[in-house]
Chain A
Amino acid sequence: MEKHLDRVMDDVLSNPGVTSCVFVDHQGLCLGARGKASTECAGIIGAIADQAAKLEPQHKSPIIVFENDTRACIIQRNGTITGAIFKNI
């Protein structure tokens, strides 16, 4: 059933620098995770996407980027699914 999702996640991880990715549903439950991330961060990722969307509700969901010197965490929501990618920069 989840073969397609697995393929999508493997594709994402094949990109250079990407260390992990997580997909979350509208309730904050983890739909899939690959790489070094744990499934427990799903709730936080869902909550971050929800909160950020309140900033401009009339626009499409934004891309949320957390950055520091070495790593970045990129989160975006599409419909009911939220995805997060952790990568080295």
Chain B
Amino acid sequence: MDRIPGQIGYLLLNEDGAVISSSGDLENDEKSADIVMGLITLTSQIDPDALPNHEGFKKLSIKYEGHSYIICLSNRKIHIVKKLNSVDGAALSV
């Protein structure tokens, strides 16, 4: 279970999209799990010209006004963290 500063929710999925564990705002949130799975399995690379050598991305952030979702893939499991945007003098003006 990852504990990162500002975390308000956590989801751990296996590589097929099934929920392994969840907590906080994302507890039992299969709907979000499905949406995130749909998002990361859309493609293997966004643009072959802009990002050559088939490099993947390490981190995906989905930023809203007050909070963000951070998603990464590690050991064939998908980690999704919902955290509050840090308000230390650098508030997001989205």
Contact = CB atoms under 8 A, between A and B. Distances in A.
Contact flag (A, B; Cβ within 8 A)? yes
Contact of A20 (B39, B50, B58, B62): B50
Contacts of A59: 64-65
A73 B42 contact: no
A48 B41 CA distance: 10
Given A36-B49, A37-B49, A51 B38 contact: yes
B51 to A, nearest CB: 6
Contacts, number: 90
A45 B36 CA distance: 15
Contacts of B77: none
A62 B63 contact: yes
B60 A66 contact: yes
Given A36-B49, A41-B50, A60 B42 contact: no
Nearest to A65: B61
Which bucket holds chain B's interface residue count? 20 to 34
B46 A73 contact: yes
Interface string A33-68: 001111011001101100110111001101111111
B75 interface: no
A87 to B, nearest CB: 10
B35 A51 contact: yes
Contacts of A55: 32, 35-36, 62, 69
A68 B50 contact: no
A62 B55 contact: no
Q: Kindly name the residue among B36, B42, B46, B48 whose own CB sees the greatest number of chain A CB atoms within 10 A.
A: B46
Interface of B: 32, 35-36, 38-39, 42-43, 46-51, 55-65, 69, 94
25 contacts: A19-B50, A20-B47, A35-B50, A36-B49, A41-B46, A47-B42, A48-B42, A48-B46, A52-B35, A52-B39, A52-B62, A54-B35, A55-B32, A55-B35, A63-B63, A64-B60, A64-B61, A65-B61, A66-B59, A66-B60, A68-B58, A68-B59, A73-B46, A73-B47, A86-B51
